[in-house]
Amino acid sequence: MPAEAVGAFARRARRAVARRGRTAVGRVRLARQPLATYAPRSSVRSTEHHVLRPSVPAIDAHNHLGRWLLGGRDWMVRDVVRLRDQLDELGIQAVVNLDGRWGTELEANLDRYDRAHPKRFVTFCHVEWDALAEDPRAPQRWVDQLERSAAAGAAGVKVWKDLGLVVRDGTGRLLLPDDPRVADVWAAAGELGLPVLIHVSDPPTFFAPPDRHNERLEEMLRHPEWIWHGKPVPSHARLLASLEAVLSAHPGTRFIAAHVANSPDDLGAVSRLLDEHPNLAVDLSAREGELARQPRAARAFLERHADRALWGTDIFPMDVERARIWYRILETEDEYFPYSPDPVPPQGRWAAYGLGLPEDVLRRVYSSNARTWIPALGGAPGHGDERLARTGAP
């Protein structure tokens, strides 16, 4: 073989070996890539519509402005004037503050928000469920407490998921929403005209094994306190049945089930609840990701129950960018976009699709339903005046 041919063959052989080596190195790097650092960037290119303000003045029916979630150490919102500026920028005319608690803490929230900024904020009270652990007469105390809160100016009652998952009586038995000892509270709320915004259960995935098949595994690893699998608590189904029993037993009390009744992945089940219980509405807060990954089903659900869904953010402190993602989801028909500004989506690794809701549905979901279901909002500034959505005028 001529020397030139031998040389060419040798060069080709060396290049082939190098290619195989690079391929092998690539496989090793891919195999060692930890999922925790995986942050893919979509290659989809489509039309984008970034909605800065809602089509009509909005009411945030689910937010936290008090001190409760910070252990009483500080206010969730340190600068109320700045918050008002953010709300004007976002076209939000009023906010429901769910952190009133009771007694002096309720008074502090009312002073800071409702009384200082009338009709811009309304505050819900709580019931001191933990009292049952030490006082078997707590049910009467709860009713008395609720009456005092209503007299002070509470706009409704907030019930957290601890009722059903955490609160126990003196014997260690969990207290569920349909426990007979709670019945007088629901009845009193109805008599006092206080809507009950109730957070029942958690998403069903939090009750499933936190394994490789759980689509919200990363979220659960970030928040292990949300993992209910293996703990001595009722199932998601049992907790939803408890809510339904309360709805049936108290038709004169209005209930708003937070977070799409914590069943946004089964809108058929939520639709049945709404069909069968006219005293129930749902808020959409913190479930934009779940709704926006099923846009046709979510749109059909909201059109069917256009008078029974309240928009809320559950964004605290308020974040302008996150709130505007909600507007894009509800108002546009954009495809395959992030439902969160976070590098890794907070709930699951999926994308959002716009629902493109009709104007009449948007008007009800954004604001008029909140005024209907929460009477204290009836005179919110901007009521019947769409200038706030366009200009931010008070």
Range 20-25 average pLDDT: 50
Range 77-106 average pLDDT: 98
pLDDT score at 4: 64
Percent of the chain with pLDDT over 70: 88
CA within 13 Å, CB half, 394? 7
Answer yes or no: is pLDDT of 17 > 50: no
pLDDT score at 43: 87
Cα-Cα-Cα-Cα torsion 102, 104, 107, 111, nearest 10 degrees, comes to -140
Range 40-69 average pLDDT: 94
| Helix and strand numbers, DSSP H then E, in the chain | 16, 8
Taking CA atoms, 115 is separated from 111, 120, 134, 370, in Å, by 5, 9, 34, 20
Q: What is the fold of 58-391? A: TIM Barrel (3.20.20)
pLDDT score at 305: 98
Q: For the whole prediction, is pTM greater than 0.85? A: yes
Kindly report, residue by residue over 111-157, the tens digit of the pLDDT: 999 999 999 999 999 999 999 999 999 999 999 999 999 999 999 99
Distance of CA 159 to the CA centre of its chain: 14
CB 86 within 8 A of CB 63: no
pLDDT score at 364: 98
Answer yes or no: is pLDDT of 61 > 50: yes
Kindly report, residue by residue over 175-190, the tens digit of the pLDDT: 999 999 999 999 999 9
User: Nearest to residue 350, comparing CAs of 371, 335, 363?
Assistant: 335
* CA pair distance 289, 287, nearest whole angstrom: 5
Average pLDDT, the chain: 91
pLDDT score at 394: 25
Answer yes or no: is pLDDT of 389 > 50: no
- Domain residues of the chain, as ranges? 3-33, 58-391
Kindly report, residue by residue over 26-36, the tens digit of the pLDDT: 555 556 777 77
CB 302 within 8 A of CB 355: yes
